[in-house]
Structure 1
Amino acid sequence: MASFHVIEPATEAQWQAYYDLRWQVLREPWGQPRGSERDELEAEAVHRAVVHNQHIIAVGRLHYIDETTGQIRYMAVAPKYHRKGVASLLLRSLEEASLCKTITLNSRESACGFYQNNGYTLGSETHTLYGEIRHFEMHKELIHG
């Protein structure tokens, strides 16, 4: 079985690989420019990446909306690692790092089943990105023990 572990990016090379993967998976296929994979909340957010054989293969971010609610964004897994448990590992790591009671996210329609399998409740449609990628609000109540 493959060995995957979660890190918080720390070195310049890790950050470069983190943002490269985010752009390659979430923006490049729709012709979006480099830089579109980042926003104004990067510095205050919690970042995690999954590493395999010293390569970053999945990334995700959590930022705080208020004292009780966090939002997960920019979840991206390299295509060859889909359906290998990598995204669930990353999601659990972000949830564990959270100090919130509730996590929200806007899921691409194609990923709603994944989030439901990980305990998230499906809400209403929120927006359509690039005129073709439908997104749905989802949330999960966390129990910190």
Structure 2
Amino acid sequence: RSILAAAPERALRANGRIAADGTPKGADVVRDCTRGACSYYQYLDGTSMAAPHATGVAALLVSRFGKPAPGGGLTLDPATVEKLLYASADPKPCPTPRQHVYQTFGQTQTHVCEGDTADNGFYGHGVVDAWKAVTFEP
């Protein structure tokens, strides 16, 4: 469910997510020292992680359905991009149970999913699907 994203060591230390020796304190943090220097990654959720993926799929839709723009490039009406994103997304219902408790940066948070499969608080109108978007026939 989560996105494994690069995480600054300094931020992880400041939030108590790694020990003094650099060892992760939880399963949400991954340390990779295979090439000498260590790099850190953290499993994260939310719109900050979803937005780059949705933006990439939107760009694929513009490249497929856009029309030549004056001065170069392609253009596609934003409302059309939104419609195509929704139509090519994979609907995803709220999980069971609807309540999700997780830890991020040392804090416990509880979220409750509201809505139905077509539109809910965790997955919106669904999960973007790049393959479906580029092979989609509206």
TM-score by length of 1: 0.24
